[in-house]
Amino acid sequence: MRPLSYSQISLYQTCPLCYKLQYIDRLETKYKGYFSFGTTMHACAEYFFKVKVPPPPPLEELLQFYDKNWLSAGYESAEEEANYKVYGREMLAKFWEIHQPGFRMPIAVEWMFYINVEGIKLRGFIDRVDKLDSGGLAIVDYKTDRELFTNDYLARNLQLTLYQMAVAQSWFLPVERLTLYHFRTNTSCSCPPRDEARIEAARRLVLEVAESIAAGRFPAIEGERCPCDFPEHCPYYQHKFVPEAKEAGISGEVAMAGAVERYVSLQSQIKELQLELDELKRMLADFCRVEGLNRVYGAEHALTYKLVEKTGFSEEEVRALLEPAGLLGRVLSLDSAKLKELISDEAVAKDIRNKLEALKQVVASYPQFWPRRLVEEE
């Protein structure tokens, strides 16, 4: 198996099919402005810190490097690109202002690593590794995301965990700080290193992803980033990209496009009718109750009214009666919703929750459709 990187693991977690199309089938991805922007800003930070001896390059030189290494690909318009370019210069000037005074040489910049996680090779590049006064190490990764990172995000970030594993394996020095550097605000968002339990969880995750890839499990999982760069290969979108498919019949003379619209229209009529029916039912029941009637008459039909009572049992009372007699087991049945709750309850031992999760299996399947308005989507 080829080495895995954090981006690949993260993409597999987001959508296994998208991972396959990008990394196994090697379909070409589209250029995006924010990727180009991120690449340029990373290159500038590397240029600033990767000097053979201090001091770092003066601001003028750094900005010249920025201009020379600006990537134009992927921006939606010349105006968008121009705005980003001005924005990037401002960010970089601030970056220089913050990091130039008291400049310290990192011990690694754009450091490439290969590590072995129980037979699975992991590779990646770490933007920067600093040596702290304490003798420990600090890992820094630059990000051009819009939002600042929350403590919760930092604590859950898999990339930082994998980087800590890589650095600890190579330097044999303690990692003392993990940082995502938020370029847009020039803010270091830092957190303490991961403990052994978090490292173990990350190791398990790497192995699970590697095993799923090796087993060829590539379902499409729809999410926020959809449609990705390969909608014509995705079961959620490919139908839209084959015009003749929409005209094709699904049975007899029913055309696919017509069937979809008819389905949605019937479903919404049923919903409206159900609302009307519920309201009418409520009014008729109120009338019968107030007037003390058991039957009301229309022109051609009559409706007989009866207040139907639903009976049930108090769990506590039933338990108190049946448990001592050893009969409780005969009336217990599994409640899927409660089992799900148990699986996600952190107060329950992890191995029990994992074993319970592993017992989950498909017990029935039935077709279901969720309508979506295409106009809104576009």
Compute the distance between CA of residue 346 and CA of residue 212 in angstroms, rounded to an integer. Answer: 25
Q: Select 74 or 227, whichever has its Cβ closest to ligand SF4.
A: 227
Q: Which two tokens stand for residue 337?
A: 């919703």
DSSP 8-state symbol, 74? T
Q: Select 208 or 222, whichever has its Cβ closest to ligand SF4.
A: 222
Least distance (Å) between residue 213 CB and ligand SF4: 15
- CB 137, CB 175: distance < 8 Å: yes
Compute the distance between CA of residue 61 and CA of residue 188 in angstroms, rounded to an integer. Answer: 24
- Residue (of 44, 71, 41) closest to 57 by Cα position: 44
Q: Select 63 or 226, whichever has its Cβ closest to ligand SF4.
A: 226
To 5 degrees, how large is the angle CA 17–CA 21–CA 22? Answer: 115
Q: Which two tokens stand for residue 87?
A: 């924005």
Least distance (Å) between residue 235 CB and ligand SF4: 7
- Residue (of 136, 64, 69) closest to 96 by Cα position: 64
Cis peptide before 227 (omega within 30 of 0): yes
Q: Select 351 or 377, whichever has its Cβ closest to ligand SF4.
A: 377
DSSP 8-state symbol, 147? S
Helical spans, DSSP H, in 136-177: 151-156, 158-171
Least distance (Å) between residue 6 CB and ligand SF4: 18
- CB 191, CB 149: distance < 8 Å: no
Least distance (Å) between residue 17 CB and ligand SF4: 4
Least distance (Å) between residue 22 CB and ligand SF4: 9
Q: What are the DSSP E strand ranges found in 210-341?
A: 249-251, 254-255, 295-297, 302-304
How far does Cα 147 stand from its chain's mean position? 16
Q: Select 30 or 204, whichever has its Cβ closest to ligand SF4.
A: 30
Compute the distance between CA of residue 122 and CA of residue 161 in angstroms, rounded to an integer. Answer: 12
Compute the distance between CA of residue 25 and CA of residue 59 in angstroms, rounded to an integer. Answer: 43
Q: Which two tokens stand for residue 253?
A: 């003379």
Q: Select 38 or 227, whichever has its Cβ closest to ligand SF4.
A: 227
Q: Select 231 or 371, whichever has its Cβ closest to ligand SF4.
A: 231
CB-nearest residue to ligand SF4: 234
Q: Select 125 or 236, whichever has its Cβ closest to ligand SF4.
A: 236
In what helix (H) or strand (E) does residue 85 lie, and over which residues does it extend? helix 78-99
Least distance (Å) between residue 161 CB and ligand SF4: 24
Cis peptide before 55 (omega within 30 of 0): yes
Q: Select 45 or 220, whichever has its Cβ closest to ligand SF4.
A: 220
Least distance (Å) between residue 218 CB and ligand SF4: 9
Which amino acid makes up residue 104?
A: R
Least distance (Å) between residue 16 CB and ligand SF4: 8
- CB 258, CB 252: distance < 8 Å: no
- CB 62, CB 46: distance < 8 Å: no
Q: Which residues contact ligand SF4 by CB under 6 A?
A: 15, 17-18, 220-222, 225-228, 230-231, 234, 236-237
Q: Select 12 or 96, whichever has its Cβ closest to ligand SF4.
A: 12
Least distance (Å) between residue 31 CB and ligand SF4: 17
Least distance (Å) between residue 232 CB and ligand SF4: 10
